């Protein structure tokens, strides 16, 4: 979910109803806010996700760079990994109603469904010995946010007698995402202490379009307006990691450093010019600004109950109120609600999980996993004060056969809350309007990970030959 592109304005009702579309930032950010489903920075990998995403204190495969780079020091053979992720999402809006100038307005109940499938992670890791201790170097790619979204809604205006006088049909589409490219190093400081660092390059692009048509008292649909926004995001930060381990207990800690990102957006507004009877277009041109991105702290715990059972737990904290624009007309405003005194709260995620090695034979291991999570989002409705909080469960299974490991996990999330919806293309003379109702979100994500390990010596010889 979503994501730095989908920042929304928490403007007061008076400002909202006075706002005209044009190329002012308000309508664009308000509409993109409504397309946001989730905004959580989390790791990749089906094994970890099968345990609710609680992997900070364990992190013992190549996906460790996305959870805790210190865990890379536990890799003893060169390996490559890939993770595919698919999802299906149901986002429903029910009972939305409001009024403009004494005239009742309402959304029809809307049921939206999205699907997507993409490569979400890939890596290559090479370990070697230095002074008798293990060092591991890794290169990786991770798709941190996927912005795929589509919605079709009908927004109605009724006269006092109950007859529909005007209606707007709105189609919203969004694409793109944010990826992270990392160079990481894990080091075994002692038999109990592991340290790690990853340098992360963030890069992303998003396209958002809101297309509307208008029907008036039985007249055929005609074009009403089209709002679109193209955005890019670039930044650089580091992840620092620590793991302390014993025979039965692991403790983990990570710190994702804050950074300043470059954010560029272009707003385009096409509307029906009543004076000439044909569409007209306005554009803001490319606007460049900066965003101060906050840090994230994560603590993890892993408890080994014998040789076959592992219990894990993670807690993470991100102070999203510190996500602020820097420079330009938006200087000092929060990136999510565009307020200097932001309503955006800090987010404290909680994840727990368990893994049981159901089958252990020479050359074959089959683990079963389950977990639960709670992930508050930095998404607070500016008018109702309702915050989106994703809660749910995960299950997973894996198979390890000699050099190949295959893991699969299913993650189920849900949330419901009473919110407002802003529509700048509202009926009755084009006056912006806000309606209120219930939002329900149900999302299912499927993860598939493959890890292949190589013999160490051939890989080291190949590297020595390449670099002389």
Residue-wise pLDDT tens for the chain (468 aa)? 322 222 322 222 222 222 334 445 555 555 555 555 557 778 888 999 999 999 999 999 889 999 999 999 999 999 999 999 999 988 888 888 776 666 666 667 778 888 888 999 999 999 999 888 999 999 999 998 888 877 777 666 554 455 555 666 777 788 888 999 999 999 999 999 999 999 999 999 988 887 777 665 555 556 667 788 888 999 999 999 999 999 999 999 999 999 999 999 888 888 777 676 677 788 878 888 999 999 999 999 999 999 999 999 999 999 999 999 898 878 898 888 778 888 888 889 999 999 999 998 988 999 999 999 999 988 888 888 899 999 999 999 999 998 999 999 999 999 999 988 765 544 444 445 677 889 899 999 999 999 999 988 888 788 778 776
Residue 162 CA to its chain's centroid (Å): 41
From the list 49, 64, 85, the residue with the least C-alpha distance to 352 is 49
In the beta sheet, which residues pair with residue 409?
Answer: 396, 447
Quote the DSSP letter at residue 162. Answer: S
From the list 333, 372, 381, the residue with the least C-alpha distance to 349 is 372
Residue 34 in tokens: 């409504």
For residue 31, the surrounding DSSP H or E stretch is helix 25-33
User: CB-based burial of residue 122 (10 Å sphere; 0-12 exposed, 13-18 middle, 19+ buried)?
Assistant: middle
Residue 289 in tokens: 């600004």
Quote the DSSP letter at residue 190. Answer: S
Is residue 306 helix, strand or coil? coil
* Residues in CB range of 295: below 8 A, 6 or more apart: 255, 256, 257, 258, 318, 319
Nearest-angstrom CA–CA distance, 26 and 8: 8
What percentage of the chain has pLDDT greater than the value 70? 81
pLDDT of residue 426: 45
For β-strands 296-305 and 278-283, DSSP reports them as unpaired
Letter string b/e over residues 28-61, b meaning 16 or more CB atoms within 10 A of that residue's CB = bbbbbbbbbbbbbbbbbbbbbbbbbbbbbbbbbb
From the list 148, 168, 166, the residue with the least C-alpha distance to 158 is 166
Nearest-angstrom CA–CA distance, 108 and 35: 17
pLDDT of residue 4: 27
Residue 454 CA to its chain's centroid (Å): 33
In the beta sheet, which residues pair with residue 173?
Answer: 150, 209
Q: Is residue 331 within 8 Å of 339, Cβ to Cβ? A: no
Nearest-angstrom CA–CA distance, 5 and 146: 11
From the list 54, 196, 35, the residue with the least C-alpha distance to 112 is 35
Residue 327 in tokens: 């420079």
pLDDT of residue 9: 25
From the list 371, 460, 465, the residue with the least C-alpha distance to 127 is 460
pLDDT of residue 433: 64
């Amino acid at each position: 979910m979503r994501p730095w592109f989908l920042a929304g304005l928490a403007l007061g009702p008076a400002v909202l109803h006075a706002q005209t579309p044009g190329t002012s930032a308000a309508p664009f950010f308000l509409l993109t806010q409504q397309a946001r489903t989730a905004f959580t920075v989390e790791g990749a990998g089906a094994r970890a996700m099968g345990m609710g995403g609680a992997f900070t204190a364990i992190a013992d495969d190549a996906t460790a760079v996305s959870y805790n780079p210190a865990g890379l020091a536990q890799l003893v053979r060169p390996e490559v990994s890939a993770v595919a992720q698919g999802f299906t999402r149901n986002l429903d809006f029910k009972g939305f109603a409001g009024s403009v100038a004494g005239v009742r307005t309402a959304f029809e109940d809307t049921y939206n469904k999205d699907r997507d499938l993409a490569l979400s992670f890939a890596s290559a890791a090479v370990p070697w010995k230095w002074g008798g201790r293990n060092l591991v170097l890794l290169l990786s790619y991770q798709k941190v946010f996927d912005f795929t979204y589509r919605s079709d809604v009908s927004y109605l205006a009724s006269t006092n007698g109950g007859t529909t006088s005007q209606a707007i049909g709105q189609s919203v589409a969004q694409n793109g995402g944010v990826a992270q490219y990392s160079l990481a190093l894990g080091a075994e400081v002692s038999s109990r202490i592991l340290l790690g660092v990853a340098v992360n390059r963030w890069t992303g692009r998003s396209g958002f379009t809101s297309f509307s048509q208008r029907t008036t008292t039985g007249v055929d649909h005609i074009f009403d307006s089209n709002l679109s926004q193209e955005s890019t995001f670039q930044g650089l930060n580091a992840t620092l990691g620590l793991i302390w381990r014993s025979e039965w207990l692991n403790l983990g800690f990570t710190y994702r450093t804050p950074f300043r990102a470059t954010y560029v957006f272009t707003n385009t507004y096409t509307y029906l010019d009543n004076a000439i009877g044909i569409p007209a277009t306005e554009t803001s041109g490319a606007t460049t600004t900066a965003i101060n991105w906050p840090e994230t702290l994560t603590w993890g715990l892993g408890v080994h109950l014998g040789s076959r059972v592992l219990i894990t737990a993670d807690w993470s904290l991100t102070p999203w109120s510190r996500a602020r624009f820097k420079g330009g007309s938006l200087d000092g405003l929060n990136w999510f609600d565009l307020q200097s005194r932001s309503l955006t709260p800090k987010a404290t995620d909680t994840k727990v999980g368990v893994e049981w090695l159901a089958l252990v034979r020479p050359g074959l291991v089959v683990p079963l996993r389950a977990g639960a999570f709670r992930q508050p989002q930095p998404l607070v409705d500016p008018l109702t004060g309702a915050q989106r909080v994703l809660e749910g469960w995960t299950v997973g299974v894996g198979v390890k056969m000699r050099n190949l490991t295959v893991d699969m996990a299913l993650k189920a999330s849900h949330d419901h809350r009473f919110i407002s919806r802003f529509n700048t293309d509202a009926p009755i003379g084009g006056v912006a309007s806000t309606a209120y109702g219930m939002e329900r979100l149900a999302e299912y994500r499927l993860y598939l990970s493959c890890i292949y390990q190589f013999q160490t010596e051939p890989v080291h010889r190949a590297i020595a030959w390449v670099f002389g």
